Amino acid sequence: MAPTRYAVIGAGLAGLTSAYEIRKADPEAVIDVFEAEDRIGGKLFTVPFESGPTDMGAEAYLALRSDATDFFAELGLADELVSPSAARSLIYTGGELQNLPAGGVMGIPSHSAPVAHLVSPETAARIDAEADAAPIDWQVGGDVSVGELVRERYGAEVVDRIVSSLLGGVYSCAAEDLGVRATVPQLAEALDALAEAGEKVTLSAAVKSCEARRAPRDPGATPTPVFAAFRGGYALAYEALAEKSGADIHLDVFITGVTRDLRGFHLSGQGVSTDGAYDRLILATPAPTTAALLRSVAPEASQALKSVELASSAVVGMKFDSDEGLPDNSGVLVAIDEPDVQAKAFTFSSKKWPHLGERGGALVRASFGRFGDDAIVRAEEDLIVDTALDDLARITGFDGRAAGLSEIYVQRWFGGLPRYDAAHLATVEKVRAGIADVHGLAVTGAWAGGVGVPAVIDDARAAADRVLTLG
């Protein structure tokens, strides 16, 4: 019997993971991966700094759940995983560096004490009185904007100084542009539970119940580090996946169309040279591309997916000869209402990650850009670098120019992350329903099951499973 022919579009984490899973299940498979760029990895991108490999896209992953760690161990990379130092992150607000609030959910507190150093006395009083306000008109299973909800209950300061900075670090969007269920699902579930129990639905009560549900830490146990990263950067993972998938990876091939007939799926696009139809197809591309590629084979799914918008960002990696004067913290998030700072965050990578600290000097990553606010991402490279250095000096007092800037890399991520707004989960459901009848087709990627590395891996494995088991 002829081997089954699989095509995967996109050689980011989702596409490469799918290809790897297909190979595991079907050793005889013909697997072609098509990638528009001249390299694999997508938003995982490790740059060879002279001082060592340095990530310019994702730099870590959430390791509280063990599935991603187990997956990387399966790839033979267990010994390459490293944990962060105990250094803490700060928030820059009101022109000062402050500690991040303890407790709460994504910076949303259940009472004023944890955020009292970040907000005015009026806002603190409002937080503490929230339980007495009229209840939230919460629709069980529905979604609303995080920013609108928190602004309405606690006021603008909590959103602009705290919540948008924390969420923006993950999603490159302000809290207004993100859905509660889409980005803080535990809070949406707590709000559901209050409504279902017939209790008064308030934000403080919902946050309190999230706090109560957090597993108490056994004081004798070694705590699992929250994050993990690769000593040699994410390249270790995407190169291992590419190699172990045994797929033919076609670089510089931009797929523009997919059609289907009795023989299977046909691809068209610049640089495509394939001899024949594919039995199975996985689209592992960003939402707008996936919407375009679904046009002919699943028009309703295509139409639904068009509504997903993308947020752009830029990362500036900077290596300094000296770290004297750099705070002993893992980084700084910048409040969205800071008038004189354009950066949204700095990671003091050499303080956050001991393996990077061992290289000597200082390694700092500056991040810019949010959904709807990406002028700086489009600016001249020199201007981005100057802004990064000026903002760093303003916030921390660390003079990067005087410290000796020995290496620098500017990476722009146009459309780097999908916007998980309040309509997002319903959209994903519509897309999945719209392809349910298309035999042999799966879609996956950061827009589908979550933007974080573990979520992308999970969803890509499910996509591989779908095309493998549909027969």
Provide the binding-site residues for ligand FAD, judged by CB under 6 A.
9-15, 34-37, 42-44, 57-61, 254-255, 284-286, 289, 313, 315, 413, 416-417, 445-446, 451-453, 456
Between 138 and 171, whose beta carbon lies closer to ligand FAD?
171
Between 138 and 265, whose beta carbon lies closer to ligand FAD?
265
Between 59 and 323, whose beta carbon lies closer to ligand FAD?
59
Q: How far is the CB of 42 from ligand FAD (least distance, A)?
A: 2
Ramachandran class of 233: left when φ > 0, alpha when ψ lies in -120 to 50, beta otherwise: left
d(CA 58, CA 332): 17
Q: How far is the CB of 178 from ligand FAD (least distance, A)?
A: 15
Q: How far is the CB of 449 from ligand FAD (least distance, A)?
A: 9
The SS3 of residue 243 is helix
Between 202 and 312, whose beta carbon lies closer to ligand FAD?
312
Q: How far is the CB of 85 from ligand FAD (least distance, A)?
A: 16
Between 103 and 232, whose beta carbon lies closer to ligand FAD?
232
**CB neighbours of 15 closer than 8 A, spacing ≥ 6?**
8, 9, 33, 35, 42, 282, 284, 285, 444, 445, 460
Q: How far is the CB of 367 from ligand FAD (least distance, A)?
A: 7
Neighbouring CB atoms inside 10 A of 378's CB total 12
Q: How far is the CB of 425 from ligand FAD (least distance, A)?
A: 16
C-alpha 335: how far from chain center: 19
Between 251 and 423, whose beta carbon lies closer to ligand FAD?
251
User: 157: number of CA atoms within 13 Å, CB side?
Assistant: 17
DSSP per residue over 162-178, as a string? IIHHHHHHHHSS-GGGS
For residue 121, the surrounding DSSP H or E stretch is helix 121-129
Q: How far is the CB of 450 from ligand FAD (least distance, A)?
A: 8
Between 10 and 147, whose beta carbon lies closer to ligand FAD?
10
Q: How far is the CB of 293 from ligand FAD (least distance, A)?
A: 7
CA distance readout (Å), 236 to 55, 241, 352: 11, 9, 20
Between 237 and 468, whose beta carbon lies closer to ligand FAD?
237
d(CA 87, CA 458): 29
Helix, strand, coil percentages for the chain (3-state, nearest 5) = 40, 25, 40
d(CA 364, CA 344): 13
Q: How far is the CB of 111 from ligand FAD (least distance, A)?
A: 30
- Strands (E) in 247-300, as ranges, are 248-250, 254-261, 264-270, 280-283
**Radius of gyration of the chain, Cα coordinates, nearest whole angstrom:** 23
Between 304 and 311, whose beta carbon lies closer to ligand FAD?
311
